Structure formats: structure tokens, C-alpha cells
């Protein structure tokens, strides 16, 4: 069976509320239909969080080494998985990570959900709450014009 790596932070977990993402849970379940899924953690506490939130079925969990910048650590985690055998896909919410992995020949999938992706990864885009405000304001203006 082919294998993939999936980042927890920003896909399975909302980075602001730290709550599970329903979209991430569905994505994980879908990937597990055809892939052996390895999860990439951002912090050691992710192991306990996965247990408490009942995330199961993944093959392994790659915990970060302390004291390393997360971008560098993510590349290291993927390199470690690749050293153990073929890794067919990496799913990550950070465009820089995906670009760096792509440049070394790794297939990637950039996960970009407006509620769960840091704005620093999306220059020029607004916060989700700002977009909701624009939509509500537009609807009110259209209703008043009718």
C-alpha cells in the first residue's frame, strides 16, 4: 500500500481554537482508504490530543525535536519518513513547506482552508471573520436596495 504524511496542525486541528477540524477528520478518513497515513506533529502534546480526540488508524506519529524551527522540523520529519521507505504524498498547510518538498522531488498537496490556515501563509487575504463581515454587509446593502 502506498503511504502519505499528513500534518496535524492546520489540518486536523484548528490552530486558533485547538479543536479538531471536521474537514481534517474527513480528509484523514479518506486518505486512509488508499494510503498508509503517517501523522506529523508540531508538539509532543499532539500525541495525547490525538488520543483524547479519538483519532485512530494512522500508522505512525512523528514527534518534533525540541528547539528546532517548525519549518525545518517539518522537512526533517519528512526526510526521516522517506529514509524508511517510499513516501508518495505529503499533505501540509504551509506553502513554503510544500514548495521546499516539491523542489526535492516530493509530491505534495497544499491544504488551504480559510478557517484553519494561518494568514501569514496567504499574503493579501483577509481573516475569515473579515470576509464574513463583508458578506453580511453586502447582503444588507442588497436587501436595502431591493
Q: pLDDT by residue (tens digit) across 96-115?
A: 899 999 999 999 999 987 76
Least confident range from 2-16, 75-89, 99-113, 124-138: namely 124-138
Cα(13)–Cα(7) distance, integer angstroms: 9
- What is the pLDDT at residue 144? 86
Its pTM stands at 0.79
Domain presence at residue 145: no
Domain presence at residue 134: no
What string of DSSP letters covers 39-92? EE-SSTTHHHHHHHTT----SEEEPPPTTS-HHHHHHHHHHHHHHTS---EEEE
Domain presence at residue 20: yes
Domain presence at residue 146: no
**pLDDT-derived band of residue 139, with 50, 70 and 90 as boundaries?**
confident
**pLDDT-derived band of residue 124, with 50, 70 and 90 as boundaries?**
low
- What is the pLDDT at residue 116? 54
Domain presence at residue 11: yes
Total domain count, the chain = 1
Q: Give the structural domain span for 26.
A: 2-118
All cell numbers assigned to 114:
480559510
* pLDDT mean across residues, the chain: 87
CB atoms within 10 A of CB 125: 13
Cα(21)–Cα(25) distance, integer angstroms: 6
- What is the pLDDT at residue 115? 63
- What is the pLDDT at residue 143? 84
Domain presence at residue 142: no
- CA nearest to 121, candidates 90, 94, 97, 92: 94
- CATH code, domain carrying 13: 3.40.50.1000
Amino acid at each position: 500500500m502506498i503511504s502519505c504524511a499528513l500534518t496535524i496542525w492546520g489540518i486536523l486541528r484548528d490552530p486558533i481554537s485547538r479543536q479538531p477540524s471536521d474537514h481534517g477528520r474527513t480528509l484523514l478518513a479518506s486518505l486512509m482508504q488508499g494510503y498508509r497515513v503517517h501523522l506529523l506533529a508540531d508538539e509532543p502534546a499532539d500525541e495525547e490530543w490525538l488520543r483524547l480526540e479519538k483519532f485512530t488508524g494512522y500508522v505512525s506519529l512523528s514527534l518534533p525535536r525540541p528547539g528546532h524551527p517548525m519549518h525545518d522540523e517539518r522537512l526533517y520529519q519528512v526526510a526521516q519518513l522517506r529514509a524508511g521507505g517510499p513516501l508518495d504524498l505529503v499533505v501540509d498547510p504551509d506553502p513554503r513547506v510544500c514548495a521546499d518538498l516539491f523542489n526535492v522531488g516530493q509530491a505534495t498537496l497544499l491544504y488551504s482552508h480559510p478557517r484553519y490556515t494561518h494568514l501569514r501563509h496567504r499574503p493579501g487575504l483577509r481573516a475569515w471573520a473579515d470576509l464574513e463581515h463583508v458578506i453580511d454587509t453586502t447582503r444588507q446593502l442588497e436587501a436595502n436596495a431591493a
